[in-house]
A and B are shown apart, each in its own frame.
Chain A
Amino acid sequence: MIAAHLPIQRPRHGKLLALDRGGNIRHLERSRVVDLFRRGDLVIANDAATLPASLSGEHLRTGRFIEVRLAARRSLAADSIRHCNAVVFGMGDFRIRTEDRPKPPELMTGDRLALGVLRATVEAILGHPRLVRLAFDGSLAGIWEGIARDGRPIQYSHITRPLALWDVWTPIAGPPVAFESPSAGFVLDWNVLASLKRQTVQFATITHAAGISSTGDGELDALLPFDEPYYIPLTTALAVRHAQMRGRRVIAVGTTVVRALEHAAQSDSFVRSGFGLATQRIGTDTPLRVVDAILSGTHEPGTSHYHLMRAFVDDATLRGLDRELNLHNYRTHEFGDSIFVERNGRGGESLEQISCSVDFKGATRRAHGIAAHHSRCELTVVRTDFRFRAVMGKDAIEQDDISGDLCQFAARRVVGTFGRGD
C-alpha cells in the first residue's frame, strides 16, 4: 500500500472499504462513513488526546544527542506520567526511518537525561538496551508544562513535514493520555457525530492511552502493543449491555477500542465500567465477546494492528482484503484510508437472547436477557419497568447451553437487588 504522506485527517478523496459478515466487499467514499451504520448500532470511539511524547535532548554521561519517545504508562492518572516507559533513539529525527536511526549511547540505570527544560533519570533497563523506565525530576506541574511545551508528537518518516498537535488530535480528543494518536477517530468530525444522532445511531466513548506503535527494531516491535491503561465510563458500559441485549451491533472505532472493551469483558462477556490495564494481545485465537465490527485505518501485515484484525476474519479473507486494498490504491498509515470489517462469527463467543420467567416479589413475569455460552457468573435480566441482576449459580457454569429453564432456575435462586430504570 502507498503511505499517506500528508497530515490531513479527513482528505477530500478518502476511501473506505467495507467487508460485511458474508464476506462481501464494497468501496465507499470515506466521507460517507455514516452509510455503514444502521439504526440502533452503537459506535464507540477512543476520546484520548495525544501527548507530544517525543522529547529530544542530551544523554548527560556521554554528552550525546538522544530522542526519547514515551511509550507506555501504568495508569491514566496525571501523576503516572512521572514514571514512564520510553524507547530511546540516537542521532537524527523523524525524517530518518526508525529502522535506519543510529543507536543511542549505551544506557545504564542511573543515567541522567536533559530533555528541554525537563530532567530525567533512567530508573531501569527493561530487557532491551533501548527500552527504559524514566523518572522525571521536579514538581508534577513542572513535568506537565515541560512535556506540553517542549515535546513534539511522535512521528514517522512517511510524513515529511513536522507534525503539530492539531494534526494529531482527533476532533473528539479529550483526556491527554495517549502517546500516539488513536487515528481511526480522525474520520469522526462533529458533522458525522450529528449525522449519527439523526440516524439514531448511538455514540459512546472510552479513553485508552494508545502507546507507541512502532520502534524500528524487530525485537522491540515484537513486544507491541505494550500494556495500555484505559477507562470505560458507566454510560458506555451500560450502552454496550443495552446493545448486546437487543442484538445490536457494537462497532469499535480503532484497534484501541477493541482492546479496551475486550479486556474489560474478558471474564464473562460483560463490559465493566471503570479503569483497567489492557495487557492482552488480540489475534487469531482471541474470541471477540463484545465488538461486532471495527472501523479502522488500513494496516500492513506484520504490525500488531494487522494481527488484531485476525480476530475478526480468517487469514484467507484478510489476504483477500489486502489484495483489494492494493488493487484500488488505498493509502496506509495514520492519515490513510479506512476499512470497516464485520467479524464473521468464527472464533467469536456468541451471546444468546434468553427469554424466561422470573419470580419477582411473588409474581411471575416474563423477562428477556442475554447470556454467553460458558458465561461464568452473571446474567442480566432486564425489563422495561424494572431491572435486576441474577447471578448464576455455580452449577450453571458447567453447562454448555443456557436454556430457558436453567435461566429460570438460576434467576429464582437469587432474585436480588433491583432498581428502577438504568
Chain B
Amino acid sequence: MLEDSDHHILNEFRGLRVAITGGTSGLGLALVRELLDRGAGVAFVARSRAGVERVMREHAGAYGIVGDVSKKGDIHPIAIQILAALAGLDVLINNASDLGPTPLALLADTECEDLERALATNVLGPFRLTKVLLGALASSVRERRGAVVLNVSSDAAINPYPRWGAYGASKTALHHLSRIWNEELTAEGIRVLSLDPGDMDTPLHAIAVPGADPSELKHPETAARELADAIGNLLSSMRRRPELMPEAVVR
C-alpha cells in the first residue's frame, strides 16, 4: 500500500525531464526503466548505436542519443539532442563510468592511457556535460521546476581499495567535484548529489570482480529505485519550499 509520502514521490516525476548517461546497461538501463515507469521524460546517452537502438526498441518513449561523454567534441552535440528531445532539462544523471585497466591492475602496472580514459569518462565528461547543461537547469529553476544533478559515485571514492586505483581516484575526484558544485550551485537553486548505489550485479562489476557471487550483489533495479527516491525527495522538498528557489519574483 502506498503511503502519502510515496504518492508525493511518484508525482514528482510526472513531466520531469531527465537525461541519463550510460543508459544501455547495468544501473543506467535500470534508471531509464525506473524513471519511465514513474512518468518522467527520459533521454539517454551511450556509445554504441546498436545498443541505443535496442533500448529504444524495448522502451517506448525513451529517447536515445549516440555519444561518448569522454570526448570533448561529443558534449555539445549530446546536449543539443537532449535539450531538443526533452524541451529543457530538470535532472541530469551522470552514470557512465570507465573502470580504468581491465582486468583491474595495481597502480604501478596501470598504463597512463587507462588512467586518462577513466578520468575523461568519470570526471571530465560529467564536468563538461553538467557545465554545458547548467543554463538549461538554471532555466528550469527559474520556472519553479527545480533542478538536480546526480553523479553516480562508489565506495571506491572513499576507500583506497588496492587494484581500483584509476577508478577510485577518478570517482574521488567526481565525488569532491560534486560536493563543491553543490555548495556553489545551491544559491542558484540547483542541487548536486553524489550517491553510491552499492555493489551491484552489473556488467561493469562482472568485469571488475569476475568471480563475485551475484546473490550477494544488489540488483541494479533496487539501486535505481533508491536513487530515483533520493531525486524525488529532493525535488519535492525544493518545490515545497519555494524560498529555496532563488529569483523569487514577487517579494
Interface residues of A (CB under 8 A from B): 47, 49, 51-52, 78, 81, 141, 144-145, 147-149, 164-166, 169-176, 190, 193-194, 197, 202-205, 207, 233-236, 238-239, 242, 421-422
How many Å from the CB of B137 to the closest CB on chain A?
Answer: 8
Contact indicator B76/A174 (Cβ below 8 Å) = no
B230 at the interface (CB under 8 A from A): no
Contact indicator A49/B143 (Cβ below 8 Å) = no
B208 at the interface (CB under 8 A from A): no
B60 at the interface (CB under 8 A from A): no
Assembled-state Cα–Cα distance A322/B139 (Å): 35
Top 8 A-B pairs, shortest CB-CB distance: A148-B77, A165-B76, A422-B250, A174-B136, A174-B135, A148-B80, A174-B139, A172-B135
Contact indicator A148/B76 (Cβ below 8 Å) = yes
Contact indicator A171/B135 (Cβ below 8 Å) = yes
Contact indicator A194/B76 (Cβ below 8 Å) = no
| Contact status of A242 and B249, CB under 8 A, knowing A144-B84, A145-B66, A176-B80 | yes
Contact indicator A144/B80 (Cβ below 8 Å) = yes
Residues of B within 8 A of A236 (CB): 142
Q: List 9 A-B contacts (CB under 8 A).
A: A51-B80, A148-B77, A165-B76, A175-B87, A176-B80, A176-B83, A202-B247, A233-B142, A235-B143
Contact indicator B138/A172 (Cβ below 8 Å) = yes
Contact indicator A78/B77 (Cβ below 8 Å) = no
Contact indicator B76/A421 (Cβ below 8 Å) = no
Contact indicator B250/A176 (Cβ below 8 Å) = no
How many Å from the CB of A356 to the closest CB on chain B?
Answer: 21
Residues of A within 8 A of B78 (CB): 148
Contact indicator A145/B249 (Cβ below 8 Å) = no
Contact indicator A145/B250 (Cβ below 8 Å) = no
Contact indicator A49/B249 (Cβ below 8 Å) = no
Residues of A within 8 A of B139 (CB): 47, 172, 174-175, 205, 207, 233
How many Å from the CB of A390 to the closest CB on chain B?
Answer: 18
Which of A49, A78, A81, A242 is the one whose CB lies under 8 Å from B87? A78
Residues of A within 8 A of B212 (CB): none
Inter-chain CB contacts under 8 Å: number: 98
B79 at the interface (CB under 8 A from A): yes
Assembled-state Cα–Cα distance A133/B61 (Å): 31
Which of B76, B80, B84, B187 is the one whose CB lies under 8 Å from A166? B76
B246 at the interface (CB under 8 A from A): yes
How many Å from the CB of A110 to the closest CB on chain B?
Answer: 28
B225 at the interface (CB under 8 A from A): no
Closest to A171 in B: B135
How many Å from the CB of A121 to the closest CB on chain B?
Answer: 21
Closest to B184 in A: A190
Contact indicator A242/B135 (Cβ below 8 Å) = no
Contact indicator B247/A235 (Cβ below 8 Å) = yes
Q: Taking A47-B139, A141-B85, A149-B77 as given, write out 7 further A-B residue pairs in contact, using a Cβ cutoff of 8 Å, ordered by the A residue number.
A: A144-B80, A166-B132, A174-B88, A174-B135, A197-B246, A233-B142, A239-B249
Which positions 100-148 of chain B face chain A at CB distance < 8 Å? 132, 134-136, 138-139, 142-144
Contact indicator B187/A197 (Cβ below 8 Å) = yes
B58-93: CB near A (< 8 Å → 1, else 0) gives 000001011000000100111111011101100000
Assembled-state Cα–Cα distance A149/B134 (Å): 21
How many Å from the CB of A168 to the closest CB on chain B?
Answer: 10
Assembled-state Cα–Cα distance A52/B84 (Å): 13
Residues of A within 8 A of B76 (CB): 52, 148, 164-166, 169
Which of A144, A170, A202, A234 is the one whose CB lies under 8 Å from B85? A144
Which of A164, A176, A197 is the one whose CB lies under 8 Å from B84? A176
| Contact status of A144 and B81, CB under 8 A, knowing A166-B76, A169-B132 | yes
Residues of B within 8 A of A202 (CB): 247, 249
Residues of A within 8 A of B144 (CB): 235
Assembled-state Cα–Cα distance A206/B64 (Å): 28
Residues of B within 8 A of A204 (CB): 142, 247, 249
Closest to A149 in B: B77
Which of A170, A171, A194 is the one whose CB lies under 8 Å from B187? A194
Which positions 135-179 of chain B face chain A at CB distance < 8 Å? 135-136, 138-139, 142-144
